[in-house]
Amino acid sequence: MSTLAKWAPAVAALVLVASPGLWRYSRHVITIAHEAGHALVALLTGRRLEGIKLNPDTSGVTVSRGRPTGVAVVLMYFAGYVTPSLLGLGAAALVTAGQVRPLLWATAVLLAGMLVMIRNAFGVLSVLLTGAVLFVVSWYATAEWQAAFALFVTWFLLLGGVRPVGELQRSRARGRAPRSDADQLARITRVPGLVWVLLFAAVVVGALFLGGRALLPVTA
pLDDT for residue 6: 74
Give the start-to-end residue ranges of the domains of the chain: 3-219
The answer to whether 47 and 72 are in contact (CB under 8 A) is yes
On whether the pTM is more than 0.75, the answer is yes
Interval 28-60: pLDDT, tens = 999 999 999 999 999 999 999 999 999 999 999
Q: Above 90 in pLDDT, residue 220?
A: no
Residue range 139-148: mean pLDDT, rounded:
91
Q: Above 90 in pLDDT, residue 184?
A: yes
pLDDT for residue 178: 86
Out of 74-83, 116-125, 134-143, 147-156, which region has the weakest mean confidence (pLDDT)? 134-143
pLDDT for residue 30: 98
pLDDT for residue 73: 96
Q: Is 49 left (phi over 0), alpha (psi -120 to 50) or beta?
A: beta
